[in-house]
Chain A
Amino acid sequence: MREKLRARWDSLVQKLSRRIPRLSRAWRVVRNLLCIPLTVYLIWLFAGGNPLSPQWAFRREETLDMVGPSEILCEARYRYYYSTDYIWFLGETEGGYTSMSCSRSGGFLGGWSGQLAYWPRGEEVTMVVREGTVNQDVYEAAWVYLLGDASDAVRAEVDIHFQQSGHLNDRPYDFDRVYTVECTRNEEGILCGLLAPTDQSEDLWTATLEESVLADLFHYRYKVPVTVRLYGEKDELLLQTSFEYRCADPE
């Protein structure tokens, strides 16, 4: 039975390959070695074509968003609660800054993806904000980056004014608070600081309100008044400027 099947298989292979020109073993090796990378490329493409490294994903989003290419100024890693690891890039282009949080996509072959944000260069200072640990409802922290030509500045203070009124869970609120973020130079030499909720009360409603108001920082529909003060080595004020901050793109 097995021999019969084998004979039939051989005859089928012979029949099918009769018209294919016979190649020497060396040429068959060459053919196979050329076909393998082509097939691997097609597999990658068919599997979604997700970039296989975070840098590649960042560069591809720049291409598809038609900004850049940028010079990478900063790269940060953070974790979304206990699951997804994110790699955040901050780049500088001719006309502004790009940022993107990349995470591994699921599915066949995986890969990295994310959504790029483009921040046009501000007149004196450009403020870029990165998420700390955030989900759709809960805001926990935000990293504030100050970019510009003020290389003399060793530290900065950023006043962010949140003012909002409305209803949360059927309770009215009138939120009006200024948060001051202390920024110092990080490893890459960029002024950056952490903005975190300050409410220490155990009242869940108050905590949720603060988190949801602060989360406006990440929504492109909202504008938040900001004042930036840059200080020199002797703690002298180098620059004070005010502007309205608006998130570059939806998340």
Chain B
Amino acid sequence: MDNISWGSWTRRVSAHIKFKPDRLPVEEELLAHLEDNAETLMKGGMPCRDAEAQALAAMGDADEVGRALAAVHKPWLGYLWLWSRRVLILCIVVLLFSAFGVAGRLPLVPLEQDPDVAEWYEEKEHYTVTRISPKCRDESDGFTFTVPQAQLVHNETYHIVYESEGKTYTDTVEENYSIYLILEASRWLPMADGFSAFRHFYAVDDQGNRYPGFFEENNENVGKCLVGNQQQSDLWHSRYDAWIRELDPEAKWVELCYDRDGRDVRLRIDLTGGEGA
């Protein structure tokens, strides 16, 4: 029996397998077995043609072998594997494309590298900056709130003299205390758009002052207020770069509060101590 006969035997075996993509690999494997067996027989001194015929005879009846292999190669499992693989590859390709758009939102840059207000003020005359390390923390609705950075900025009264169109003008900057801080909300579920409730925080201090929040009535017309800009840090952290204007110089602590719809979040920042920048 020659190789053509081997081929027709293997095709007859594989025809029993219903999952067509498996047929060719099965045929190749059966041919490899036949070649190995024939080679072994030839090494024992058997002529080539006889060895090939005997190797084939040893494999048994094609239909019987085919039925046995068909029982192993279940078509539903084969098609499920094939389609799940195709879908997964497609998903991975789409994922790679979509990943380009979010590089900036993954936590690749440590959050501690945010710009420090103190660095900006230390070059300026008339300003004193004190760094505070708030240890405050509170939780609500699955969010954890912290204040990773805070800096107390004080400026003495000073005058700015400038000239315009041949005239000399003098502006006075009054003495002022303010606190710059970062308010952070984090949770284990992603916050794709960031924590929007930041703008509804307000602040109070131990002197009975209230610093209204961003959207509170008339906050643009009063000096004392808590304002800020929401900064999306990454999918699991959202930050609010905030500052309290016209902080009472007598205040020993200031508390950031959120109390809408029955909530009670309080983050108390101790203003005593701290280190000068």
Contacts and interface: CB of A to CB of B under 8 A. Distances in A.
Interface of A: 25-26, 28-29, 32-33, 35-36, 39-40, 42-43, 45-50, 61, 63-68, 93-96, 108-109, 113, 115-116, 118, 120, 220, 223, 246, 249-250
Interface of B is mostly: helix
Contacts of B81: 25, 28-29, 32
B153 to A, nearest CB: 28
B167 interface: no
B260 A64 contact: no
A59 to B, nearest CB: 12
B59 to A, nearest CB: 24
Interface stretch (B23-31, B155-163, B188-196): B188-196
Contact of A66 (B84, B92, B143): B143
B78 A25 contact: yes
Contacts, number: 100
Q: Most chain-A Cβ atoms within 10 A of its Cβ — which of B78, B84, B140? A: B84
- Interface size of B as a range: 35 or more
Interface string B193-221: 11111001000000000000001010000
Interface of B: 77-78, 80-81, 84-85, 87-88, 91-92, 94-95, 98-99, 101-102, 140-143, 190-197, 200, 215, 217, 235, 258, 260-263, 265
Contacts of B92: 39
A116 B196 CA distance: 9
Contacts of A66: 140-141, 143, 195, 197, 200, 258, 260-261, 263, 265
Residue of A63, A64, A109, A116 with most partner-chain B CB within 10 A: A64
Contacts of B192: 45, 48-50
Contacts of B195: 64, 66
Contact of A46 (B77, B98, B140, B265): B98
Nearest to A30: B84
B123 to A, nearest CB: 35
A120 B217 CA distance: 14
Contacts of B217: 223, 246
A241 B55 CA distance: 102
Nearest to A35: B88
A222 B191 CA distance: 31
Contact of A32 (B85, B200, B263): B85
A121 to B, nearest CB: 10
Given A42-B95, A64-B193, A66-B141, A29 B88 contact: no
A38 to B, nearest CB: 9
Contacts of B261: 66-68, 93-96, 118
Contacts of B262: 94-95
A61 B192 CA distance: 11
A63 B92 CA distance: 30
B72 to A, nearest CB: 10
Given A47-B98, A64-B195, 11 more contacts: A25-B78, A28-B85, A29-B80, A40-B91, A48-B192, A64-B196, A64-B197, A65-B197, A66-B141, A68-B261, A109-B98
